[in-house]
Amino acid sequence: MKQKPGSVGRAIMGTKIKIDSDGQILAHGPTLAQGYVDTTEPLVDTEGWYPTGDLGRFDEEEIYGSPEDAQTGSCRVGSP
């Protein structure tokens, strides 16, 4: 399936996506890690939703957002 203009991708099969009230993308599914080794702080909330730190919107098929709003760990990812 061809990616729609402006889309930054799709969730992998079995993963649910929702957007919180601040516009942050949340993910839920069996392939998400539950936490890191040597830390007691969970990665997911009490309902199993993982806050990605990325801002965007979702149209039931694809995720939309700006690369300038994407985060990877403590690094910001953006266009050159």
Whether 23 and 8 have beta carbons less than 8 Å apart is answered as: no
The pLDDT of residue 43: 78
* 30 within some domain: yes
Tokens matching residue 61: 């098929």
Q: How many domains does the chain have?
A: 1
The pLDDT of residue 76: 43
* 45 within some domain: yes
> pLDDT tens digit string along 9-44?
778 888 888 889 988 888 888 887 766 677 777 777
SS3 28: strand
* 80 within some domain: no
* Owning domain of residue 29: 7-72
> pLDDT tens digit string along 36-75?
677 777 777 888 898 888 888 877 777 777 655 555 444 4
CATH number (domain holding residue 26): 2.30.38.10
